[in-house]
Amino acid sequence: MDDVAPLPDVEIGEIIGMLEYLKEEGGKTDIYEIADDLNLEIDDLVPIIKAAELLGFANVENGDLILTKLGEEIVNGDENKRKILFKESLKKLPVFKKVLNILLSSQEHFIDKHELLSMLKQEMPEDEANTTLRSLINFGRYAELIGYNPEDKEIYLDKIMEE
Amino acid sequence: MEELLRLKDVTQLFPLKKKNVVVLDKISFSVHEGEFVSLVGPSGCGKSTLLRIIAGLVKPSSGSILFRNKEIHGINLHVSIVFQTFGLLPWLDVTENITLGLEARGVSLKERLRKAFKYIDLVGLEGFEEAYPRELSGGMKQRVGIARALVMEPELLLMDEPFSALDAFTAQNLREEILRLWSSGKLSLKSIIMVTHNIEEAIYLSDRIIVLSTHPGRVIGDIHIPMARPRDRDSIEFTKLYDKIYSMVVMAKI
């Protein structure tokens, strides 16, 4: 199995907002110019760019950020289309693959949050495991891939997947 | 288009050290169906107070508010507000926060849930139904704030600095969402009034911008934005409007 890389600590709205901005700039712009234009610190921008790259929505080339075809589809799509595309991208990430496998193979299709956190801690430093879990729940909920019940602290499979 | 709202000489005084300070001075304007209006002005111009007066949450010292030609006394049930700081109840989950207002109006549980799911879907909150506010980012919290306002199926939506507590990208994303919802034809909404100090945001979103001065708050400009959407922030037309309104706001401070 691929290495389970940590997920950046960003919000869906930040990723989509950046893609929308990028489209307005003609689909390609200098990373330093984004920071300058929007009064952002590069440190704040980097995780959002990383997330967009990880999901295949944007690429970094020679200091430019470039909107991919998939990224453009996200920007142009309605909310349902966005969720579907997000879902497809998430399913390809090793960390999601791993969690989905666990959920699919368990009888009740759920896993305790703390149990999952300790599994993530075996793969990455504690800080990153915490933010990865947060983003995993956030992204998963948005894409309606996984759900999280805050009462029981359980992560579950949102809908039994077609494939 | 038909007139939805009319303000007639709305004046608000605020008692300070035995003297009355005039916060809003004879504010008069109308909003018609189909209009997205922004109220822009320097801080302290009373624009948030004005929004609360329109909602019927604050009674003006003098003047009147007409909604569909009828004078409004007390809370206007055809109006909902979206707040800058979201105003969610931390002990309720997303669905419960959204349906709270319906519950207060005696809507049945079945109908509450039906409506909640409709607006949860419209604002892109599917998957977050059982989340608590503490689990949500600012952008998601504001989506709940918007859904909670829309679920009441108001004719007029008031937004008080709805994007200013959000980071740049999230704000951009939500502005697009609002435009998308507004133009979708899926809402009961006839008009939107938004308070903002962000001139670029006002030009990007609105059909009309009302500029207020400060000390006292008076209407000093009423500008139509004739640009087609989506609007290009780098276009000459946009920049010209920006410069025009910016200089009005700066002058209003002096």
Taking CB atoms and an 8 Å limit, are B169 and A148 in contact across chains? no
A6 occurs within a structural domain: no
Confidence (pLDDT) at B18:
80
Domain end point (choices A27, A60, A75): A75
In a domain, A7, yes or no: no
Query: B50: domain range?
Result: 3-78+190-253
Number of independent structural domains in chain B: 1
Regarding whether A147 and A84 lie in a shared domain, the answer is yes
Q: What is the structure's pLDDT at B178? A: 95
Pair (A67, A100) in one structural domain: no
- Are A69 and A88 in a shared domain? no
CATH of residue B39? 3.40.50.300
Non-local (6+) Cβ contacts of B217 within 8 A are: B23, B24, B25, B27, B41, B45, B46, B47, B50
A84 and A102 assigned to the same domain: yes
B123-147 average pLDDT score: 94
Looking at the domain assignment, is residue B9 inside a domain?
A: yes
pLDDT digit string (tens) for B11-68? 999 888 788 889 999 999 999 999 999 999 887 778 989 999 999 999 999 999 999 9
Tally of structural domains, chain A: 2
Structure confidence at residue A160 (pLDDT): 61
ipTM exceeding the 0.85 mark: no
Using the predicted structure, report yes or no on whether residue B254 has a pLDDT greater than 70.
no
CATH code (residue A28): 1.10.10.10
Report, as an integer, the average pLDDT of B115-140: 94
State whether A34 and A71 are in the same domain: yes
pTM: 0.88
Q: What's the confidence (pLDDT) of residue A11?
A: 93
Please provide the average confidence, as pLDDT, over all residues in chain B.
94
Query: What is the percentage of chain A residues whose pLDDT exceeds 90?
Result: 77
Are residue A152 and residue A91 in the same domain, yes or no? yes
Domain enclosing residue A48, as ranges:
12-75
Q: What's the pLDDT score for residue A161? A: 56
Q: What is the pLDDT of residues B218-244, one digit of tens each?
A: 999 999 999 999 999 999 999 999 999
**Domain annotation covers residue A1:** no
Residues of chain A short of pLDDT 70, as ranges, are 1-2, 160-163
Residue B12 lies in a domain: yes
Q: Look at residue A1 in the predicted model and tell me its pLDDT.
A: 46
Between positions 44 and 73 of A, the ones with CB within 8 A of B are 44, 48
Q: What pLDDT score was predicted for residue A113?
A: 94
**How much of chain B exceeds pLDDT 90, in percent?**
85
A-chain residues near B139 (CB < 8 A) = 11-14
- Of B164, B159, B166, nearest to B140 by C-alpha is B166
The closest alpha carbon to B74, from B101, B51, B56, B50, belongs to: B56
Same structural domain, A117 and A64: no
Q: Best of B94, B163, B169, B179 to disrupt the A interface by mutation (most A CBs within 10 Å)?
A: B169
The 3-state DSSP class for residue A37 equals helix
For residue A163, is it within any domain? no
d(CA B175, CA B153): 20
Residues A129 and A151 in one domain: yes
Instruction: Let me know whether A65 and A89 are in one domain.
Output: no
